[in-house]
Amino acid sequence: LVTAVDHLDGAMAQLTSIYPLAVFILIALD
Q: Which residues bind another protein (CB under 8 A)?
A: 2-30
Rounded distance, CA 24 to CA 15, Å? 14
Instruction: Characterize 1-30 residue by residue with b for buried, 16 or more Cβ atoms within 10 angstroms of its Cβ, and e for exposed.
Output: eeeeeeeeeeeeeeeeeeeeeeeeeeeeee
Instruction: Provide the minimum distance between the beta carbon of 22 and another protein in the complex, in angstroms, as a whole number.
Output: 6
Q: How far is the CB of 2 from another protein (least distance, A)?
A: 5
CB of 1 to another protein, least distance (A): 9
